[in-house]
Amino acid sequence: MRKIIYLLLFPALAISQSKLDGFEDLIKRKQYDKAEIKITVYLENHPKDLEALELLGDTYGHQKKWDEAIAIYQNLRKANPQNAEYHYKYGGAMGMKALISSKITAIGMLDDIESALHKAAKLDPKHKNVRWALVEYYMKIPAVLGGSKNMALKYAYQLEQLSKVDGYLAKGFIFESDDEPELAEKYYKLAIKESGSLWCYNKLTNFYEKQKQPEKAIANLEDAKEKHNKNTLDYEMGKIAAQYNIELQKGAQCLQTYLKNYSQKDGVTKAWAHYRLSQIYAHKKNKAAALKYIDLALAESPKTKHFKDEKQRILKL
């Protein structure tokens, strides 16, 4: 009898896992609508499969169907109240809905959001994502509604105990949000020193751009290029040169390098690189070269407003 049960059970598990792998693959390929349909059909016959339910909630979240995602995660919380991830995802989905709701509706959701995130943090002392969520929550909520720099720093400290780089990045975010740029810069640099990852370099670059410090942004990108031979870094340097009318020769060289080494994996299309080159040559008052590159951009993407506006600006030079 036991052997029969064993043989019946494991094929079922294998089929179930195979199904879940297929759903996860669709999600990875960003085919969220297909994943939603397939998981929904699967759940008609397996309504208590919590993993499948979680994946369905995730597909709703990817499609910004926040009400549906919230309902799924709430059911998961009830089914397994000791699962930190379910509380975290519920609080996160509630937070995303609050961002698109009216102020009155959003205010009414704050207690549920905070409670769910605190529950997740308490259940899992090593859950980094929920601590990041709490850092952002306490920095983005006004003080009169419960926002608190001290609470944000508390969770940044907890992050630092789990991962120094996450702790440094969290502190950088906190001080940047609190208009303390010197401290923000310090912690973003510490994150780079600790990790050296491209993600950390990007955080510091974005910070410099927000601070209107393009020279520092380019210098940081050059440092990143020495450690990470990523083609997108050449585009970013060219973009900043074009936007701020600085280091134009270097910017043009970077964009030409980007175009020479371009692949679809780079993310930014050739059209945008041509657009940035047209900006650079417009700054140089080289109308012919500027028109050449903006026409290349428009040939690839004729409906892009930025490109059409840029051509009109160049024609007036």
Query: CA 271, 274, 276 angle in degrees (round to 5)?
Result: 110
pLDDT at 26: 83
Q: Where are the beta strands (DSSP E) in 174-225?
A: none
pLDDT at 205: 97
pLDDT of residue 19: 59
CB-based contacts of 245-254 (< 8 A; 24+ apart in sequence): 245/283, 246/214, 246/215, 246/218, 247/215, 247/218, 248/280, 248/283, 248/284, 250/218, 251/276, 251/280, 252/277, 252/280, 252/281
Whole-structure pTM value: 0.85
Query: With contact defined as beta carbons under 8 Å apart, do 165 and 195 qualify?
Result: yes
Residue 229 backbone dihedrals phi, psi, to 5 degrees? -80, 70
pLDDT value of residue 303: 95
Rg for the chain, CA atoms, rounded? 25
| Joined tokens for residue 153 | 């720093």
> At 286, phi and psi to the nearest 5?
-95, 85
Question: Going by C-beta distance under 8 Å and a sequence separation of 6 or more, which residues neighbour residue 304?
Answer: 271, 297, 298
- DSSP string computed for 12-53: HHHHHHHHHHHHHHHHHTT-HHHHHHHHHHHHHH-TT-HHHH
- Delineate the domains of the chain, giving CATH numbers in brackets: 31-124 (1.25.40.10), 125-218 (1.25.40), 230-317 (1.25.40.10)
**pLDDT per residue rounded down to tens, the chain (317 residues):** 344 333 343 333 333 455 567 777 888 888 889 989 998 999 998 899 999 999 999 999 989 999 999 999 999 999 999 999 999 999 999 988 998 899 999 999 999 999 999 999 999 999 999 999 999 999 999 998 899 999 999 999 999 999 999 999 999 999 999 999 999 999 999 999 999 999 999 999 999 999 999 999 999 999 999 999 899 999 999 999 999 999 999 999 999 999 999 999 999 999 999 999 999 999 999 999 999 999 999 999 999 999 999 999 999 99
